Amino acid sequence: MPVRPWNRVEAAKALEARTEADLANISLPPPHEYFRDIRIYRQRATDGGRTRNGVHVLSRHSLGNGDTQINAGPTIFRDPCENCIQFRSGAQLAFGVTLRFDGAQSTLLAYRFYLSLLPASGLRFVRIDLNAPKETYDPLHMPRCHMHPGFEGIHMPFPVMTPIEVLDRIVHVIEPHFTP
């Protein structure tokens, strides 16, 4: 039986097209409402014992072009990070989310979630990125939505999700694997 030829570049382009289609189907409320939703989620994570600090690390501000940025800590992580979300394990999370509001709904433009892990975990960090829209991405080497599994140069394709979905996966799925 002959083996079908595999074209990794074409497969990566098809995956990128699916990512863009999935992203187009994500509908978020106005930025002030989504900020409130993230605050509620964060407070519940603290109340439930998953994190040590509540919502005071969250901020929202308008960018010069009218887009809205929602942050927890710095958008580019620096250790130590007093303004980051603190996990009981000692891990720290910083994130930034960029939204564009058209008067009815928000479009998700970009995000960066950076989970800094303890040295004993064997992995320095996990970072999940949705890069800002631009004309082209190299879908094979740096897809628009990707995960860095502890190394900056590795860009593993990652399914596009809402920021709260990513936050939930980090808080309840990824970080617990590294809790001593």
For 98-134, what is each residue's pLDDT tens digit?
999 999 889 999 999 999 998 888 889 999 999 998 8
**Res 1 pLDDT > 70:** no
Assess whether pLDDT exceeds 80 at residue 179.
no
pLDDT value, residue 27: 92
- Rounded CA-CA distance 176/38 in Å is 20
Structure tokens at 73: 């800590």
Dihedrals phi, psi of 110, to nearest 5 degrees = -160, 160
* Positive or negative torsion for Cα 45, 98, 35, 80: positive
Higher-confidence position of 180 and 96: 96
The dihedrals phi and psi of 43, each to the nearest 5 degrees, come to -65, -40
Average pLDDT over residues 139-151: 92
Residue 129 CA to residue 157 CA, distance in Å, equals 10
Confidence of residue 140 (pLDDT cuts 50, 70, 90): confident
* pTM recorded for the entire structure: 0.92
Interatomic CA distance for residues 88 and 104, integer angstroms = 39
Q: What is the pLDDT of residues 63-95, one digit of tens each?
A: 989 899 999 988 777 777 888 999 988 999 999
Residue 55, pLDDT score: 79
pLDDT tens-digit series, residues 10-56: 999 999 999 999 999 999 999 999 999 999 999 999 999 889 887 78
Instruction: Please state whether the peptide bond connecting residue 80 to the residue before it is cis, i.e. omega within 30 degrees of 0.
Output: yes
Quick one: pLDDT at residue 52? 87
DSSP state of 87: B
> What confidence score (pLDDT) does residue 168 get?
96
Say what the pLDDT of residue 70 is.
96
CA separation (Å) from 179 to 32, 35, 50, 124? Answer: 33, 28, 11, 13
Which amino acid type is present at position 119?
A: P
Predicted confidence at residue 120, as pLDDT, reads 87
Give φ, ψ of 53 to 5 degrees. -120, 145
